[in-house]
Amino acid sequence: MKKDFPNLHIDTLSAAYARGEITPRALMVQLKHRAIELNAEYNLFIHILDDKELAPYLARLEDPAAKALPLYGIPFVLKDNIDLKGIPTTAACPDFAYIPERSATIVEQLIELGALPVGKANLDQFATGLNGTRSPYGLCKNSVLPEYPSGGSSAGSALAVALGVASFSLGTDTAGSGRIPAAYNNLVGLKASKGLISTAGVVPACRTLDCTTLFTTTAAEASRLLGLVARRDPRDDFSRHNPAWNDATAFGAIAPGFRFGVPETLEFFGDAESAALFSVAISQLESIGGTAVSIDFEPFLEAARLLYEGPWVAERYLVAGALITKNPQAVLPVIHDVLEKAPHYSALDHYEALYRLQHLKTVCDAILADLDFVVTPSMPRPVSLADLSKEPVAANSRLGWYTNFMNLLDYAAVAVPASFMRSGLPWGITLFGRVFTDQYLLSVANTFQHATNLPLVGGHALPAPKSTGRKARNDKARVVVCGAHLEGLPLNWQLRERQGHLVSATTTAPHYRLYALPGGPPLRPAMVRASEGGQAIEVEVWELPSAELGSFLTNIPAPLGLGKVELADGSWETGFVCDGYAIATAEEITSWGGWRAWLGSRAA
């Protein structure tokens, strides 16, 4: 492209359109030539749209009203297991190919928003692989160092952004395919919470686990795109509603004081440089206000092993199995080897694995309960094309060390660039957290990107962060509970289901009286501030998204409500209070010092 041509960063390109420096039609002419040229070297495309195929999309944007569309003229690429109406979907298997009569929901959404499809990207066949070499359409080389792979399975999707053919791209992620290519190519890879981005019109790998993913140059772009497309889709039985605390307004500055988990035992497979770079990344997260907390990572790793050592491989077989039976030569040998054991799993195997996974999720969720997120390397160490040639399965498996558990455990994840290795190869980290914490993770990733200030793909500088007029915040509220909402008691689920987590177990200042209200079950407490005769009462401080506080309040029956409670350290927090009129018929239990002690006395 010409040196004075604007880069494809979404805001930069939109500004160029607004100034009249370029039109979508002129841009697509240049991108088409660039795509063809790069494809000869990198094999990033399976299909590049021709002039006739592009015509209806360009014609729509020539309506003057289209200039108001939020993604007007923004080029994107989609992985070739995602449907684009009238264009073959191959999943990198020519004998599997079909021509869809309708685009995938996510593609329909983007086109409606003004985005322009450039082409269908190459991938590991049937999205089975993390390296980008398992395709009859050619292997995908790394965008920076040709002796390394692009990473897969969304190999071509990542290359399209890294090589400047698209502003963003769509991939998929079942076991890491939306994060490993991002790490290899200096990109942000958003694997949003399952169901937030529709998978209707996506060829399944494991339908119960699949996610449609976004590759962008910045976390801010990923946040903007997610805010536009995170919608419940009636076409997708696995689609989910995006809660209010996770909408686009949640993206922004983060308050210091966040706590992030770091695996106490890390695996780098002997790569001292990756280990050193990860230590630097931890220091950078601490420099922006975080506190590192060591965690046991073995439960996460055990969950990861279930993906390929358990019956979920049989779910992959549902798509390719009929073709393998009918025409084994149609499927690459390495894919056939991965899937060949699938028919031998029984229903007993399936349920045994489900029970084990549910236990592991309980354990892992408990580890996350007191953390804002966990950080890992995106991959233990980069593997080269030579490594993959020598050990195609083992080398590929090493790439998934920190990725395979994510969808099994129903977590959100963002891969973000962190550094460059001495060789010049990009190197990155992944932030992951509880389901529906996507915008918070992107906010942390955005702050981290500005702290590291790495050059973006194409050598462009990171745009200055936009001021939102808001103070840094963590969009969370604290609630003091003293009775049935305590950890392990009957109403604690009302906090847990709202993504609440326990901050501390403490007591009030010594100025309160505690009562048990009549009625139940469950039995309910009433805590009243006393002018005399009070004492310290056992309480817990819980934190939950601010957007959930209103729905929590509506579940609180009279005479209870929320007000300010003084804690032992002199601080005041929002907590349960009670109207004074209710005390006349209540049983005072102040002398027990807390609800648990009183319940224990009743049981005795």
423 is catalytic: no
476 is catalytic: no
- Distance separating alpha carbons of residues 540 and 235, to the nearest angstrom: 43
| Tokens (6 digits) for 309 | 């050592």
Q: Which of 143, 154, 169, 177 is catalytic?
A: 177
Beta strands in 131-180 (DSSP E): 168-173
191 is catalytic: no
- The one-letter code for the residue type at 70 is P
- Distance separating alpha carbons of residues 379 and 388, to the nearest angstrom: 15
* 3-state class percentages of the chain: helix first, strand second, coil last, to nearest 5: 40, 20, 40
- Distance separating alpha carbons of residues 378 and 371, to the nearest angstrom: 19
Per DSSP, the three-state class of 394 is helix
The whole-angstrom distance between residue 6's C-alpha and the CA centroid of its chain comes to 30
Beta strands in 134-198 (DSSP E): 168-173, 188-191
Contact 374, 424 (CB under 8 A): no
Q: Which of 14, 32, 79, 378 is catalytic?
A: 79
| Tokens (6 digits) for 153 | 């399975």
Q: Which of 153, 167, 198, 223 is catalytic?
A: 153
What is the side-by-side strand order in the sheet with 525-529? Answer: 525-529, 512-516, 587-588
Rounded (10°) angle between helices 155-162 and 24-42: 120
Q: Is 331 exposed, middle or buried (0-12, 13-18, 19+ CB in 10 A)?
A: buried
Cβ neighbours, 10 Å, residue 111: 20
Which among 403, 411, 415, 407 has a CA at the least distance from the CA of 371? 411
Residues recognised as catalytic:
79, 153, 177
